[in-house]
Amino acid sequence: MQASDLTIWTIILVLGVGTYLIRWSFLGALGNRELPGWVLRMLRYTPVAVLPALVAPLVLWPEATGGAPDPARLAAAAATVAVGVLTRNVMLAILAGATTLFGLLYLLG
């Protein structure tokens, strides 16, 4: 990464304060105010929209292969999602993905 120490610390501090304010929002400042329904709906879908959008290009065009789709990494991604959906268990899904990745990288040389 190219970011300087100053940039990284700026990100940590702004992110720390911002995240705190999000957590403190209703408990500390907004009180019992009702949120409009559409705001609640948007909030509900933030993780399930942000994280896939972040990860999709990384899966399809991994940096380690210079952006070329890679069978081992695609299979590892598929195994992770499949085990995650079936078991609802984050650690099992990570294990499945890691095993697939290292297994295939070893087999395919």
- Binding residues for another protein restricted to 57-96, rule: CB under 8 A: 57-64, 73, 76-77, 80-85, 88-91, 93-94
Q: Among 52, 69, 71, 108, which residue sits at the site for another protein (rule: CB under 8 A)?
A: 52
3-class SS at 69?
A: coil
Looking at the Cβ atoms of 1 and 68, the one nearer to another protein is 1
Among 45, 66, 68, 109, binds another protein (CB under 8 A): 45
Q: Which amino acid is at 64?
A: A
| Angle, CA 46 vertex, CA 50 and CA 25 arms, to 5° | 130
Q: Could you say whether residue 43 binds another protein (CB under 8 A)?
A: yes
SS3 91: helix
Per CB under 8 A, the list member of 53, 66, 107, 109 interacting with another protein is 53
Nearest of 75, 50, 45 to residue 60 by alpha carbon: 75
Q: Which of 5, 36, 66, 68 binds another protein (CB under 8 A)?
A: 5
